[in-house]
Amino acid sequence: QVQLVQSGAEVKKPGSSVRVSCKASADTFNNYPISWVRQAPGQGLEWMGGIIPMFGTTNYVQKFQGRVTITADKSTNTVYMDLTSLRSDDTAVYYCARDGSLTESFFDYWGQGTLVTVSS
């Protein structure tokens, strides 16, 4: 059974950092890339980047370069997304999602989402 279970909601101050976790089932962690997609309130979907957990290979959207880091912990089958220098427009629901394969980045399974609120 494919599972992606995310950490809970966060409230952060502007300028601070947030870490969101995504615990994957073993088969997913070992065989598929995992991406992060965010959705601001009332807005559409935005891909931020992804990782191939077994290799640690990452790919980021240029817009987030320098602010986002995606890592994977093989001992717990968990992928992390760290976002630094938070601004109010980073307020969004953050989803982890499984890529369809190593070569096809549609997203066939999604975590439940983590709301990150950035407010002073």
Partner 1 sequence: EIVLTQSPGTLSLSPGERATLSCKARQSVSSSYLAWYQQKPGQAPRLLIYDTSSRATGIPDRFSGSGSGTDFTLTISRLEPEDFAVYYCQQYDNSPWTFGQGTKVEIK
Cα separation, 84 vs 115, whole angstroms: 16
Min CB(47)–partner 1 separation in Å: 5
Exactly one of 10, 25, 46, 80 binds partner 1 (CB under 8 A); that residue is: 46
DSSP class of residue 15 equals T
Candidate ranges 8-16, 21-29, 66-74, 107-115; the one touching partner 1 (CB under 8 A) = 107-115
Amino acid present at 114: T
Stretch that binds partner 1, among 14-22, 23-31, 37-45, 78-86 (CB under 8 A): 37-45
What gap in Å lies between CA 2 and CA 32, rounded to an integer? 11
Q: Which two tokens stand for residue 71?
A: 């890592």
Q: At 83, which amino acid appears?
A: L
Contacting residues toward partner 1, per CB under 8 A: 35, 37, 44-47, 59, 61-62, 95, 97, 100, 104-113
